[in-house]
Amino acid sequence: MADITFFHNPQSRARIVHWMLEEVGAPYKTQLLRLDRAEHKTPEFLAVNPIGKVPAIKHGDTVITEAAAICAYLADAFPAANLAPPTNSPERGTYYRWMFFGAGCVEPAIVDHMFKRPQVDRPGALGYGSYADTLNALEKAVSTHPFILGDRFSAADVYVGSQIGWGLMTKTLEPRKAFTDYAGRCAARPAFQRAAAQDEKYMKELQS
């Protein structure tokens, strides 16, 4: 019996968590929320996530929100999936570094670029500094080895790969070869493909 409940809408960042859940391989129950009916703003869901956004999961009595946090949590909660280096491994620092670079720098840089938000007088006050610097750092992270930790795929690739895939799809990320090659390696993962296929079915269900 599944003790994970996944609050999901395929037109959201919840796709990241869906992929991660498929990588983990633990049973989970999906609860679809219709954003067009504001089901993410009901008292029942606000009790889960007061900001009223998906994704969110409940694992037993524990609630986790924020896609990067959920990815990191699931990797540790299900070590048999081998999606995170051990806590005493030197790779743990690299894993955390790029996981949270994706959340703290890549996503806001891409979103600001997408909405054409004006440049600020003090770019150093932004967590990511500048769009160009963020992309250059990201390129280095994904071009040296097949994955963030070298040949080993991890939860950091789920998060970073999702950001790159979304940025390429929305044309808010420059289609540098390093990005397209890395996105292709991520998209070749069977878990990614399972989640994507399920999300297409969910899209049809929500549109019916």
Dihedral sign from CA coordinates of 56, 103, 124, 130: negative
CA distances to 52, 54, 65, 141, 190 from 49, in Å: 5, 8, 7, 32, 30
Residue 122's pLDDT is 80
Q: What is the pLDDT of residues 121-178, one digit of tens each?
A: 787 777 888 999 999 999 999 999 999 999 999 999 999 999 999 999 999 999 999 9
Q: Which domain holds residue 23?
A: 4-82
One-letter amino acid at 5 equals T
Residues 71 and 117 in one domain: no
Residues 102 and 169 in one domain: yes
CATH number at residue 108: 1.20.1050.10
Residues 37 and 124 in one domain: no
Residues 71 and 132 in one domain: no
How far apart CA 80 and CA 24 sit, in angstroms, is 8
Residues 108 and 36 in one domain: no
Domain total of the chain: 2
Q: What is the pLDDT of residues 11-31, one digit of tens each?
A: 999 999 999 999 999 999 999
How far apart CA 72 and CA 83 sit, in angstroms, is 9
Residue 25's pLDDT is 97
Count Cα neighbours of 52 within 13 Å in the Cβ-side half-sphere.
10
Instruction: Indicate whether this model's pTM tops 0.85.
Output: yes
Residues 101 and 176 in one domain: yes
pLDDT band at 52 (very low <50, low <70, confident <90, very high): very high
